[in-house]
Amino acid sequence: MSNYVINHLKELESEAIFVIREIAAQFENPVLLFSGGKDSILLTHLAKKAFFPAKIPFPLVHIDTGHNFPETIAFRDQLVEKLGVKLIVGSVQESIDKGRAKEETGADASRNSLQIVSLLDAIEEYKVDAAMGGARRDEEKARAKERFFSHRDEFGQWDPKNQRPELWNLFNGRKNYGEHFRVFPISNWTEMDVWEYIKLENIDLPSLYFSHQRDCVVRDGVILANSEFIKLKENEEVVNMTIRYRTCGDMPITGAVESEADNLDKIIEEIATTRTTERGGRADDKRAETAMEDRKKQGYF
């Protein structure tokens, strides 16, 4: 007689697929928030598995800050074509041009929090009632308190002190008019789980995640890619380095790590021995101790 156990990656996969199918069943206009990072690529892969042989029954939404890595955009377009799924692009540049969002100034200016405006606008325009994302609880301390089904009021705000209790596998997606949900099917995955699963399932990733040569600027200990979006401060110089990315946000705020890891096995080995968290290089989290919570309350992912 066989032993009726599944390993932890299969259990996490099964949980995520259950949640993705619940979203499709409980909501009228769900979307998948696609950033081009490994977590949203994983989520898209799981969504494909959940509905096969049918196509993914909801569109991908990408909030384009205009500061994306070109590799991310190319990868996105390829994936969308391969899956035959609809893509909606919400543009931060458009929000700025329309006067809906105001560009930050100064050397550390970023468009990170401006995404909130474009995201909420897209949600309103397409009457989105559930936006699923690849956020994980192990990423950041405010995310450790997130539900799978996270309620947002009519202003898109999160109220962390008044969250719905979530019991067994019974997810309550009922809401009043104008409210919506953020749903996080891979809540329980860690960075290691994500990489192990990517290897197991042979999932394609943008080249950014693998070791490569790049012109960089080191600012406050964070390695940033040199690009047209970054203004050099005094005493800063451009250095060519061997790096890779552990997470993938906008070019001016995503820190790289020096790394020779050019394949999945080496990346997994590197993560197993690393002593910093993957968001440790994210300038957007370093603005205040509760920077993530503050943005999430306003409607950030």
Helix (H, G, I), strand (E, B) or coil at 151: strand
Q: Which of residues 100-159 bind other proteins (CB under 8 A)?
A: 137-138, 140-145
Judged by CB under 8 A, does residue 177 bind other proteins?
no
Q: Which of 99, 165, 202, 234 binds other proteins (CB under 8 A)?
A: 165
For the chain, the farthest-separated pair of C-alpha atoms sits apart, in whole angstroms, at: 70
Smallest separation (angstroms) from other proteins to the CB of 163: 7
Q: Is the dihedral of CA 143, 145, 149, 152 positive or negative?
A: negative
Q: Does residue 277 touch other proteins according to CB under 8 A?
A: yes
Q: How far apart are CA 58 and CA 101, in angstroms?
A: 27
Rounded Cα distance between 103 and 115, Å, is 11
- 99 versus 161: smaller Cβ distance to other proteins: 161
Instruction: Return the H-helix or E-strand segment holding 244.
Output: strand 239-245
Q: Does position 93 bind other proteins by CB under 8 A?
A: no
**264 lies in the binding site for other proteins (CB under 8 A):** no
Sheet holding 60-64, edge to edge: 87-91, 60-64, 30-33, 130-132, 180-183, 149-152
State which residue, 105 or 167, has the beta carbon closest to other proteins: 167
From the CB of 292, what's the least distance to other proteins, in Å?
A: 9
54 part of the interface to other proteins, by CB under 8 A: yes
29 counts as binding other proteins under rule CB under 8 A:
no
Burial 222-254 (b: 16+ CB within 10 A, else e): bbbbbbebbeeeeeeeeeebebbbbbbbbbbbb
Pick one of 175, 180, 182, 295: the residue that binds other proteins (CB under 8 A): 175
Question: In this complex, which beta carbon is closest to other proteins, that of residue 169 or of residue 240?
Answer: 169
**Three-point CA angle 73, 97, 32, nearest 5°:** 40
Could you say whether residue 266 binds other proteins (CB under 8 A)? no
204 binds other proteins (CB under 8 A): no
Binding span for other proteins by CB under 8 A among 125-133, 188-196, 210-218, 247-255 = 188-196
E-only strand ranges, 59-207? 60-64, 87-91, 130-132, 149-152, 180-183
Task: Rule CB under 8 A: choose which of 82, 174, 231, 233 binds other proteins.
Answer: 174
Nearer to other proteins, 51 or 94 (CB): 51
Residues 292 and 11: their CA atoms lie apart, in Å, by 28
91 binds other proteins (CB under 8 A): no
Of the candidates 188, 187, 209, the residue with the CA atom closest to the CA atom of residue 198: 209
**Residue linked to tokens 């325009």:** 125
Residue from 29, 172, 207, 227 binding other proteins (CB under 8 A): 172
Q: Could you tell me the two tokens for 11? A: 């259990």
| Residues in contact with other proteins by the rule CB under 8 A | 2-15, 17-18, 21-22, 24-25, 48-55, 137-138, 140-145, 160-161, 163-170, 172, 174-176, 187-188, 190, 192-193, 196, 199-200, 268, 274-277, 280, 289-290, 293-294
